[in-house]
Amino acid sequence: MPDRFQIAGLAANNGVSLLARQANEFGVGNVCIGSEALAGDLDRLLDSTHKTIGIGVQGMCSLAALPEADVLVVAVAGAIGIAPTHAGLEAGKDIALASKEVLVAAGEPTMELARRHGCRIVPIDSEHSAIFQCLQGAPEGSIERIYLTASGGPFRKATADELKRVTPEQALKHPTWNMGGLVTINSATLMNKGLEIIEAHWLFDTPVDDIEVVVHPQSIVHSMVRLRDGSTLAQLGLPDMRLPIQYALTYPDRVDTGLPRMGPEMFARLEFEPPDDERFPAPGLARKAAARGGTVPAAMNAANEAAVGLFLEGRIGFPDVMRLVCEAMEAHDPLPATIENVLSADAWARVEVVRLAGTNSGAGAG
């Protein structure tokens, strides 16, 4: 949609070649790369007219506040996305949000900034986009219950003993979505649903107890909302992230860009079942984190990222991921969710998980 959008800035962590190629293709004058060590390579690959190069979080914050930008798309992994999101809100930008961690770790200060500056946060995550779409036209206070759908991941029917033998290669084979390593493992453990519960709580001002996870293997119903009059609204579509990304950018308009269509014959069979809380404790852990509040959700999220990393390296077993998250949460002393405290809790949890894994190295597989 070149007639509708112009890219004011682009940031990447270490994907120098792709960042340069996109900046050159779309005439982007402001770019940011993750480290000073990569800036020289980026500079050499950019067209001569593209020479404004930012570095790291500070560079992302500068991009987020560019005067010519109207919408900030936040799609980075981890708590590193909080600072540029806040910089964008303070500069009056609407946010198209794909990063769960921003609201999981810092939901209260983020939503307060959005309210104070009159900014809109439109979710890109497929489940929250579905809820957001279902609520268009619904008066404030209409929500009775939110249903977050989950594919169930590759181990939906696996026994507890089988889960102990899961390898990283098996866990990375998602049945319906093509995602990165962390997100794919989060789907396998159902931690993605735990994070989404907290995110939905902040996005839609809904108590955690009114948000339910249901397993839906077909990944056609992306989420549902039951309203106070008894109606249940659902958003259906193919498992294709282009639609929620597009809607976040064009909202409130619906624009035809030729995305694949789905007919009724494609969803003749839709299955729903409750998740198994014993085999998949992550949603319950997220509810506990939300109930304790403060920096506990940030610690939970960082502990999970660290534990997933250890699992992917073959250093712990699949069930150990949630065990370590639980132990780190129990050890965490919560503080109010200021940005400084959130980042401190994030750093603490990552170190704590490595410590716990070493202390209990004989407890799990690998």
Q: Kindly report the number of other CB atoms within 10 A of residue 174's CB atom.
A: 18
* Dihedral angle sign, alpha carbons of residues 219, 150, 253, 9: negative
| pTM, rounded to two decimals | 0.92
Q: Which CATH class is domain 10-123?
A: alpha beta
Q: pLDDT (tens digit, 9 = 90+) per residue, 251-266? A: 999 999 788 888 888 8
Our measurement of the distance from residue 246's CA atom to the centroid of its chain's CA atoms, rounded to an integer in Å, reads 17
Residue 364: pLDDT over 60:
no
Per-residue pLDDT band for 153 (boundaries 50, 70, 90) equals: confident
Predicted confidence at residue 49, as pLDDT, reads 66
**Beta strands 232-236 and 221-227: pairing type?**
antiparallel
* Dihedral angle sign, alpha carbons of residues 311, 316, 322, 328: negative
SS3 (DSSP) at 212: strand
CA distance 176 to 360: 34
User: What fold does the segment set 293-358 form as a domain?
Assistant: Rna Polymerase Sigma Factor; Chain: A (1.10.1740)
62 closest CA partner among 99, 33, 94:
33
237 closest CA partner among 249, 227, 226, 245:
245
Q: pLDDT (tens digit, 9 = 90+) per residue, 80-128? A: 899 999 999 999 999 999 999 899 999 999 999 999 999 999 999 999 9
| Largest separation between any pair of C-alpha atoms in the chain | 60
**Topology match between the domains 10-123 and 293-358:** no
Predicted confidence at residue 173, as pLDDT, reads 80
Helix (H) or strand (E) holding 100: helix 100-117
Instruction: Show me where the domains of the chain are located.
Output: 10-123, 126-280, 293-358
Mean pLDDT is lowest, of 20-24, 162-166, 267-271, for 267-271
Q: pLDDT (tens digit, 9 = 90+) per residue, 264-319? A: 888 888 999 999 999 999 999 999 999 999 999 999 999 999 999 999 999 999 99
